[in-house]
Chain A
């Protein structure tokens, strides 16, 4: 542990600027919605009570603080819309993460085993869509999936189906959208893990009589575990809170928490309920991340 000494004036100034920004526009707003989540909704602007004013005395603040309530959090469990949104978000994100892994792993493996001089080009080509607009990439799928869209037309022209399949505005379309949008996040860490593997390990396993499948299952796959875990987190976490994909590709019955939150906030103006749902979402997402980080640190300490 480094000894804590005071920073110089210049250093303090350097730190103060980003710190103040974060405090004013991230920490303070988060504390504010934590407070709103304990308030109750009223018809006013802003639409919640109690509100603290700069003219309040300590007694006023104490009196107002008495009206804080956990009702909004109780409602999250009792209200089936919210509860179902959470469960369905986690399920959709989970299924999408597995699907993304199934697409990304062979893709990453094919790139990592390709000719060395081609690899930078291939990985660049695979990562390039990440730089293009997310909204446009999701939008592109509407034209493919709609009832009169290209996939249905192609299938009907080939005589494989008689009537258009309902693909657009379904939960399946949301999964496809998530797999498509987040593929680079899964691809890059897995590729990095596979590319760094020593080929002599596989050769040794083969020399000792392992079949190609055994080499894959007992050497390649276990050694790429870190890449798989990192990729899964990078897909799962943003997918749970996703708004654009379920809103554009999902049906009206596709419940996802990001969409429910958005509607509650903009359409129903129920800020306390939306704030409580937001705080709960942060806890749900950060808990596994912190546990994973702790497990990783413990493992590192164990190695020493």
Chain B
């Protein structure tokens, strides 16, 4: 590939990836309700957001569900990762391995349908708790995969050495293995958090009245067409992600400079 062709391909690729997002963000500052008319710069849609109480309530529910389900999913993923990476072959290891990884390839509609059927069949009322259960089940396969890979990447003989020197298995794990995989734990948590915050399908099946999530609100608005308030909240969410990604990239860069 010549230098010129390479530059052209990269420019086209990044335009395709970023133009829709940038246009969406620009439209959120458009005073006009219409997509195609620029009515001047305005932040009125952001001001309107503050008065949209159902939307704010949903944002709080989504945020709480994302924090809680990501914490549980990271914990379960850590246990499952330890069992798969460190234990001797146990009975039904294949079943466990398969069941842990299956939601990765399963359409969300299928998982949601199965969960809802189960809640109804056993007479479990749907709400915030079932929403968290649904999101943990969806995200723990991602946390398990990430943490299993991290555990396989760190040397088990270090933990064995700690145990030979008198550490209990729990101490050996907490003091030797855990510090090594701490970055993977953090990124597993963030991944689960993002997936939960973004999920529409599982939430629609698993949640009940009184626990409508932000994506569900956005979705029901979006089905009616483009809405300036949705542009504004989307831009806020995109901005948060951009800050988080930029921040973590900066931390990594500074860490490298210092030779850490």
- Contact residues, A235-272 vs B (CB, 8 A): 237-238, 240-244, 247-248, 258, 261-262, 265, 271
Interface size class of chain A, counting residues whose CB lies under 8 Å from the partner chain: 35 or more
Q: Mark A132-148, 1 if CB is under 8 A from B, else 0.
A: 11111101111110101
Task: Say whether B6 contacts A262, CB under 8 Å.
Answer: no
B200 interface neighbour in A5, A150, A180, A244, Cβ under 8 Å: A244
For A134, the chain B residues whose CB sits under 8 A away are: 198
Contacts A1-B89, A19-B96, A136-B237 given; does A14 touch B14 at CB 8 Å: no
- Provide the A144-159 mask, 1 if CB < 8 A to any CB of B, else 0: 1010111001000000
Is there an interface contact between B21 and A137, defined as CB atoms closer than 8 Å? yes
Asked if B27 is at the interface of the complex by the 8 Å CB criterion, the answer is: yes
Knowing A2-B88, A46-B117, say if A238 contacts B107 (CB, 8 Å): yes
**B31 on interface, CB distance cutoff 8 Å:** no
Residues of A contacting B83 with CB < 8 Å? 11, 14-15, 18
The answer on a CB contact under 8 Å between B133 and A135 is no
Known contacts A4-B91, A14-B82: A129-B18 contact under CB 8 Å: yes
The minimal Cβ–Cβ distance linking A188 to chain B, given in whole angstroms, is: 13
Q: Is B9 an interface residue (CB 8 A)?
A: yes
Known contacts A33-B114, A131-B194; decide if A46 and B121 are in contact (CB<8 Å).
Answer: yes
- Do residues A32 and B110 form an inter-chain contact, with CB atoms below 8 A? no
Q: Which of A110, A143, A244 contacts B24 (CB 8 A)?
A: A143
Q: Is B57 an interface residue (CB 8 A)?
A: no
Instruction: Name the A residues within 8 Å of B102 (CB-CB).
Output: 26
The residue that A21 contacts in the complex, of B76, B117, B120, with Cβ under 8 A, is: B76
Q: Within 8 Å CB of B110, what residues of A? A: 33, 241, 261, 278, 281-282
A124 touches B114 (CB 8 A): no
What chain B residues lie within 8 Å of A141 (beta carbons)? 20
In the assembled complex, which residues on chain B have CB atoms less than 8 Å from the CB atom of A28?
118
What string of 1s and 0s marks CB contacts (under 8 Å) between B213-231 and chain A?
0010011001101100010
Cβ of A289 within 8 Å of any chain B Cβ, yes or no, is yes
B-side binding surface: helix, strand, loop or mixed? helix
The answer, yes or no, to whether B254 is at the interface (CB within 8 Å) is no
**Residues of chain B lying within 8 A (CB to CB) of residue A126:** 13-14, 17
B107 touches A25 (CB 8 A): no
Flag if B109 contacts A237 (CB, 8 Å): no
> Any chain B CB within 8 A of the CB of A275?
yes
> Do A278 and B113 touch (CB < 8 A)?
yes
In the bound assembly, the distance between CA atoms of A107 and B10 in angstroms comes to 6
CA A189 to CA B238, docked complex, whole Å: 25
- Chain B contacts with A in 22-46, Cβ cutoff 8 A: 23-24, 27, 34-36
CB pair B35 A27 closer than 8 Å:
no
Q: Which of A22, A241, A274 is within 8 Å of B107, CB to CB?
A: A241
Q: Are B108 and A241 in contact (CB under 8 A)?
A: yes
B14 touching A136, Cβ below 8 Å: no
Question: With contacts A19-B96, A150-B23 known, is A132 near B238, CB below 8 A?
Answer: yes
| Interface assignment of A285: CB less than 8 Å from any CB of chain B | yes
Chain B residues touching A, range: 35 or more
Select B36's contact among A25, A142, A149, A237, beta carbons within 8 Å: A149
| Contact between A21 and B137, CB atoms less than 8 A apart | yes
The reply to whether B88 and A243 form a contact with Cβ atoms under 8 Å apart is no
Complex interface: chain A residues within 8 A of B16 (CB): 103, 180, 183
**C-alpha spacing A141/B20, complex, angstroms:** 6
Check B237–A285 contact: CB distance below 8 A: no
B113–A243 CB distance below 8 A: no
Q: How far is the CB of A239 from chain B (nearest CB, A)?
A: 10
Query: Does A113 have its Cβ within 8 Å of any Cβ on chain B?
Result: yes
Give residues 98-151 of B contacting A (CB, 8 Å): 99-100, 102-103, 105-111, 113-118, 120-121, 133-134, 136-137, 140, 144
Digitize A79-107: 1 where CB-to-B-CB distance is under 8 Å, 0 elsewhere.
00000000000000000000000010011
Chain B residues within 8 Å of A38, by CB = none
CB neighbours of A109 from chain B (8 A)? 1, 9
Question: Which of the residues B9, B107, B133 comes within 8 Å of A110, measured between beta carbons?
Answer: B9
Would A135 and B219 count as touching, CB distance under 8 A?
yes
Contact status A114-B99, CB under 8 Å: no
Contact A278 B114 (CB under 8 A): yes
B137 touches A139 (CB 8 A): no
Q: Residue on A with the closest CB to B116?
A: A265
When distances are taken between beta carbons in the complex, the residues of chain B under 8 Å from A271 are 117
Are A33 and B82 within 8 A (Cβ)?
A: no
Which A-chain residue is minimally distant from B119 (CB atoms)?
A: A29
| A18 partner, pick from B20, B21, B140, B242, beta carbons under 8 A | B140
| Residue among B5, B13, B79 having the largest count of chain A Cβ atoms under 10 Å | B13
User: Beta-carbon contacts of A3-42 to B below 8 Å, as 1s and 0s?
Assistant: 1110110110011011101110111111011001000000
Judge if A77 is at the interface, Cβ distance under 8 Å.
no
- 7 more A-B residue pairs beyond the given contacts A32-B118, A114-B10, with a C-beta to C-beta distance below 8 A: A18-B76, A25-B115, A33-B113, A141-B20, A143-B35, A144-B23, A243-B201
A and B contact pairs by CB, cutoff 8 A, 8 listed? A3-B88, A23-B99, A33-B114, A114-B10, A133-B241, A141-B20, A242-B107, A261-B113
**Nearest 3 A-B pairs (CB), nearest first?**
A241-B107, A29-B114, A140-B20
